Structure 1
Amino acid sequence: MTPGTPRNRSDQTLAGSFERYLQDKGKGRGGDGGNYRRNAARELERFAKWAAGDRGDNDWTGILPDDVDRDPTFEELDERVFRKYARHLVGDRGLKLNTVQTYYRYISAWCGWCVNEGYLEAHYAQRASAMAPLPEDDGRKPGDQQAWTSEQRHDLTRHVDGRARDAVEAYTTLPENTDPLDKQRARYAALKTARDRALVFVLAYTAVRVGELLRDPNDPRRRGIRWEDISLDDGSMDVYRKKQQWDAASLPDPAISPLRSYRKLMEPPTERWPVFPTFDQRTLAELVQEELTERGERPEAITKRREEYARDLLLALDADIRPPSITTDGARSILQRLSEVAEIDINHPKHDYLAPHGGRRGMGEVLVRAFGYTVAARYVDNSEEMVRERYSHIEAGELGDVATEALEEIDDVG
């Protein structure tokens, strides 16, 4: 089955997807090893049993009506189910707050994989309403929120840069007699890695909120930035800010080169094309068929035309069929994949990958330490008061150094 192709969700049981997921996430030959696989398998099994109401003392109601005797299928899953499970984790097992977050992340990661594999239409587990019952305040200070360290930023950007360079070189150095479809496949691979590189660099260096950069399905004003919103020569881009208005954001030098290279490779047919379009095959297939039908092409002609392309994205580029931007959930899925493949060392109680907001907070850390709170507040588009609160651990550390120096001077005098 082509990735992203919708499945018949009414006859697909949840447990039927577990082995494939665990193989993808496992280590070693066949994906049958690794701590993550073992822990994820345990939590997935518990989730399936909870969904089926499979418990000896029968205090789990499950997600099916009482008169239905079968295992739950993907057809029954929506954000309300994950909300109920989040509430179950919080209240039913006496778990510590961080453990609740960890166990829910196993289920959420599987849910994201199911979207990519066509089992689910949306990443329901990441919806705000689904995650609402999860504990928010576990005693951590603002400075304990994830912030990409310099080493993590370097490791991730170096990884995506290497992947993109290799893919672009493989495409641009193909022999002239290369089969057209093979050449298209190479171009598609180069485009995808170049898009991922540009996205990572923008998140790592601009401190722009991911919701300002990409599409929010629940807010039509947040349609994702387009090429018309970016000025590579000026080093700026227009984004729809959290304060509900358009504003200019800075594009520092590290982000400009990946964007320029990516644009050259893509050659968007118009400036209104999204900078970070979805590469989801299911979405693009539906879009291409609908648009070509509206343009008056008959089904047989559409089928023949699609067969001339290795991917619908390439047809969309040639025919100027503008796809939607990737969503904020899509960006999280991309970063989860890249963090895992790049083997980034992450030790954080909430995230096992480099989350988008961590790039923003990481840049905030850099700017506060280098130029102070006022400059950092302007760059991250926040009040100085908020920045001081969020990065209070930096000031506390600096005051600690001052106190230490004062004590040393007193001791010297004594």
Structure 2
Amino acid sequence: MPDRALSTPLDDSFERYLQDKGKGRGGDGGNYRRNAARELERFAEWAAGDRGDDDWTGIVPDDVDREPTFDDLDERVFREYARHLGGDRGLKQNTVQTYYRYISAWCGWCVNEGYLEAHYAQRASAMAPLPEDDGRKPGDQQAWTSEQRHALTRHVDERARDAVEAYTTLPEDTDPLDKQRGRYAALKAARDRALVFVLAYTAVRVGELLRDPNDPRRRGVRWEDLSLDDGSMDVYRKKQQWDAASLPDPVISPLRSYRQLMDPPTERWPVFPTFDQRTLAELVREELAERGERPEAITERRAEYTRDLLLALDEDIRPPSITTDGARSILQRLSEAAEIDIDHPKHDYLAPHGGRRGMGEVLVRAFGYTVAARYLDNSEEMVRERYSHIEAGELGDVATEALEEIDSVRQ
């Protein structure tokens, strides 16, 4: 790592980080940015010795007169900060966890940007002093609200409609490569729309829908696994067996339109293939070579296409499904493009599991725990535990109604 990065003051990185995490033009807005800025300022003051105990002098050696830099950071520093947050300051357990996550997210960003060589904040020794979450408001349990769900699905639907219309209305004399560009843009927008609608309305776990590189059984759903006429989809469940999941009405049309546009060569094609150019380029080269094509011929063949995905479709070179991490990247991109306001300590985008939890909220409120448990492929006991706040609120309404009735009798 360059010495320049190590000698950089900590707060020199804050604005770039906040811009990356912020919303709107220039990354100046968003609740996450505001909350993260507050915690970074507190961390910087503590690191400089301004917010600790009377005998706390900061992380810079006593015999050195300068502000804290990245060279001063290691896992012991984050361990001390975790201990500082968990001290006698009146903070709830889950609040301590939330504050630490803001700093941990910044630390991870610093690794990616070359300021640090390791994600010290996520090491077990650094996190050991953190208290157990008290369960009042789990920081990692995002649930899409109705407003967020509608905003995201409306955004991807408009994008897909515009891209498909632009492609299908191209004049007949359009240059073939321009037609390919139009088709590729339409395919990508249609795939994103279908993925968002499936995550938003089916409550299927993202690990059941897409590829897990560490589990060969989870290769991602294929078109052969879907029955759009019956409204069902076969997925490999968390309980280690294949089972049918429901495809509600809002999901059918996006999937049907996307399938018609893609026109997969076989039913074994993944519903949500990767569009990563590097992966597809390597796959196409290897497959055509195995079919006996010479390197020069492969280069010429690829030059006929603007994207290797289109060549793969024509030659039935089946790509892998996107991974669960790939889905998170897509949702980050789409959440930002849709300018959705998200106030959550861990996720500054609509995470995949949030779609499942959001649908769980809808089902519990509309049909109760038993029906929701069947749809979510969970036990009723687990659903009651995870959505206990709904029952608590309903009981509160019952209590209020009872009190009002008694008061009316007394009057």
Q: 2:212–2:218: 8 Å Cα contact kept in structure 1? A: yes
Question: Which has more radius of gyration?
Answer: 2
Matched residues in 2 for 1:123 and 1:134: separation?
A: 17
Q: 1:226–1:271: 8 Å Cα contact kept in structure 2? A: yes
Residue 139 of structure 1 and its aligned partner are, at CA, apart by 3.3
Change in 2 beyond 3 A, CA 1:387/1:37: closer
Instruction: State which drifts further: 302-311 or 402-411.
Output: 402-411
TM-score (norm 1): 0.75
Give CA-to-partner distance per residue, 1:381-406, whole Å, 9 cap, x none: 01111111111111111111111111
Task: Give the secondary-structure state (helix, strand or coil) at the position aligned to 1:290.
Answer: helix
Change in 2 beyond 3 A, CA 1:154/1:51: same
Residue 412 of structure 1 and its aligned partner are, at CA, apart by 2.0
Q: 2:184–2:310: 8 Å Cα contact kept in structure 1? A: yes
2:133 match: 137
Change in 2 beyond 3 A, CA 1:128/1:307: farther
1:226 aligns with 2:222: yes
Change in 2 beyond 3 A, CA 1:211/1:289: same
Matched residues in 1 for 2:369 and 2:314: separation?
A: 47
Q: 1:142–1:389: 8 Å Cα contact kept in structure 2? A: no
Residue 365 of structure 1 and its aligned partner are, at CA, apart by 1.0
Residue 286 of structure 1 and its aligned partner are, at CA, apart by 0.9
Instruction: State which drifts further: 306-315 or 104-113.
Output: 104-113
Matched residues in 1 for 2:58 and 2:269: separation?
A: 44
Identity of aligned residues (%): 91
Instruction: State which drifts further: 191-200 or 349-358.
Output: 349-358
Give CA-to-partner distance per residue, 1:353-405, whole Å, 9 cap, x none: 11111111111111111111111111110111111111111111111111111
Question: Which aligned runs of 4 or more in structure 1 are off by greater than 3 angstroms?
Answer: 6-136, 141-144
Change in 2 beyond 3 A, CA 1:12/1:97: same
Residue 45 of structure 1 and its aligned partner are, at CA, apart by 13
Change in 2 beyond 3 A, CA 1:366/1:117: same
Q: 2:97–2:133: 8 Å Cα contact kept in structure 1? A: no
Q: 1:142–1:392: 8 Å Cα contact kept in structure 2? A: no
Q: 1:276–1:325: 8 Å Cα contact kept in structure 2? A: yes
Residue 317 of structure 1 and its aligned partner are, at CA, apart by 0.6
TM-score (norm 2): 0.75
Give CA-to-partner distance per residue, 1:205-225, whole Å, 9 cap, x none: 001001100001110000000
Q: 2:149–2:200: 8 Å Cα contact kept in structure 1? A: yes
Q: 2:6–2:115: 8 Å Cα contact kept in structure 1? A: no
Instruction: State which drifts further: 207-216 or 45-54.
Output: 45-54
Matched residues in 2 for 1:153 and 1:129: separation?
A: 38
Residue 227 of structure 1 and its aligned partner are, at CA, apart by 0.1
Change in 2 beyond 3 A, CA 1:279/1:112: farther
Aligned pair partner of 2:231 in 223, 228, 235: 235
Change in 2 beyond 3 A, CA 1:10/1:326: farther
Give CA-to-partner distance per residue, 1:227-283, whole Å, 9 cap, x none: 000000000000000000000000000000000000000000000000000111111
Residue 43 of structure 1 and its aligned partner are, at CA, apart by 10
Residue 347 of structure 1 and its aligned partner are, at CA, apart by 1.6
Matched residues in 2 for 1:111 and 1:51: separation?
A: 14
Matched residues in 2 for 1:63 and 1:57: separation?
A: 13
Change in 2 beyond 3 A, CA 1:119/1:205: farther
Q: 2:159–2:189: 8 Å Cα contact kept in structure 1? A: yes
Q: 1:63–1:76: 8 Å Cα contact kept in structure 2? A: yes
Matched residues in 1 for 2:192 and 2:386: separation?
A: 29
1:214 aligns with 2:210: yes
Instruction: State which drifts further: 101-110 or 210-219.
Output: 101-110
* RMSD of aligned Cα (Å): 6.0
Which consecutive unaligned segments of at least 5 residues does structure 1 have? 1-5
Change in 2 beyond 3 A, CA 1:128/1:405: same
Residue 352 of structure 1 and its aligned partner are, at CA, apart by 1.5
Q: 2:30–2:342: 8 Å Cα contact kept in structure 1? A: no
Change in 2 beyond 3 A, CA 1:392/1:49: closer
Matched residues in 2 for 1:311 and 1:167: separation?
A: 17
Residue 349 of structure 1 and its aligned partner are, at CA, apart by 2.4
Change in 2 beyond 3 A, CA 1:33/1:243: closer
2:103 match: 107
Instruction: State which drifts further: 401-410 or 370-379.
Output: 401-410
Aligned pair partner of 1:79 in 70, 75, 80: 75
Instruction: State which drifts further: 89-98 or 73-82.
Output: 73-82
Give CA-to-partner distance per residue, 1:300-337, whole Å, 9 cap, x none: 11111111111111111111011110111111111111
Matched residues in 1 for 2:123 and 2:205: separation?
A: 17
1:96 aligns with 2:92: yes
Change in 2 beyond 3 A, CA 1:45/1:259: farther
Residue 176 of structure 1 and its aligned partner are, at CA, apart by 1.3
Residue 191 of structure 1 and its aligned partner are, at CA, apart by 0.5
Instruction: State which drifts further: 373-382 or 23-32.
Output: 23-32
Matched residues in 1 for 2:44 and 2:318: separation?
A: 39
Change in 2 beyond 3 A, CA 1:62/1:410: closer
Q: 2:187–2:262: 8 Å Cα contact kept in structure 1? A: yes
Report how many aligned residue pairs link the two structures. Answer: 408
Q: 1:148–1:359: 8 Å Cα contact kept in structure 2? A: yes
Which consecutive unaligned segments of at least 5 residues does structure 2 have? none
Task: Give the secondary-structure state (helix, strand or coil) at the position aligned to 1:220.
Answer: strand
Q: 1:206–1:360: 8 Å Cα contact kept in structure 2? A: yes
Q: 1:143–1:391: 8 Å Cα contact kept in structure 2? A: no
